[in-house]
Amino acid sequence: EPEVTQTPSHQVTQMGQEVILRCVPISNHLYFYWYRQILGQKVEFLVSFYNNEISEKSEIFDDQFSVERPDGSNFTLKIRSTKLEDSAMYFCASSGQGGSGEKLFFGSGTQLSVL
Amino acid sequence: AQRVTQPEKLLSVFKGAPVELKCNYSYSGSPELFWYVQYSRQRLQLLLRHISRESIKGFTADLNKGETSFHLKKPFAQEEDSAMYYCALSRWDTGFQKLVFGTGTRLLVSP
């Protein structure tokens, strides 16, 4: 089965630094997502992306966050100035269709540690 | 607002015993419900969704709108079922998969 690929698997950064988390969605998928999971808490929706623009974002996704699809394969999440509370596991996901009942394919996650 | 509640953090059973992982939701409209599973050191993957009414790996889940529940059941647990299970909800009226997850239940099946 095709997979969503995320790199790096673990990122350590200093507070205030910029980080870019990278994802390669499944090649023929059109809908892309970022979710995150703070240790011990639930998986939370951050943002959805379609047709080169954000379709929906949560209140977590403030001005410090941005997403981009710089080429035909990568989908990135940038945090401009990281805070301690940004430490979490970040999951990228994609789906072929946009319907609410569609299956999401998740990447294995990037563990972000902000020191 | 949508909310998904999984009351049990840990469910421990013996192999061959029946399993029921509870999930209740709060949503005023018609939801799409899912169960996702995360095996040790692996990615989140879809186990089943209510719209397809399928049985995967012996698991079933029935949407009960009256009780606002979507409990996951399996008649005979296997050791390989040990994993983290997440119930999730998506609004039918949005074109995008904004899933609301529960906090998850860890299922531990002992030999």
Distances A94 to A27, A79, B69 between C-alpha atoms, Å? 10, 20, 27
Using a CB-CB cut-off of 8 Å, the residues of chain B touching A101 are 32, 49, 51, 90, 92
Which tens digit of pLDDT belongs to each residue from A49-71?
A: 988 999 889 999 999 999 999 88
Residue percentage of chain A with pLDDT more than 70: 97
Record the tokens describing residue A14, joined without a space.
Answer: 């200093």
Report the pLDDT value the prediction gives residue B68, as an integer from 0 to 100: 93
Which tens digit of pLDDT belongs to each residue from B32-71?
A: 899 999 998 788 999 998 877 777 899 999 889 899 999 9
Which of B6, B85, B97, B100 would you mutate first to test chain A, the one with the most A CBs within 10 A?
B97
The answer to whether B98 contacts A101, with C-beta atoms less than 8 Å apart, is: no
Closest CB to B96 among A35, A55, A103? A55
Instruction: Round to whole Å and give the CA distance between B39 and A105.
Output: 15
User: What is the signed CA dihedral for A105, A111, A112, A113, rounded to 10 degrees?
Assistant: 160
What is the full DSSP assignment across A14-76? Answer: -TT--EEEEEE--TT--EEEEEEE-TTS-EEEEEEEETTEEEEE-TT--TTEEEE--SSS-EE
For range A21-31, the mean pLDDT: 93
User: What is the signed CA dihedral for A114, B43, A41, A59, rounded to 10 degrees?
Assistant: 70
CB-CB contact of A68 with A82 (8 Å): no
Q: Decide if B104 touches A, using CB distance below 8 A.
A: yes
- Give the three-class secondary structure for B2: coil
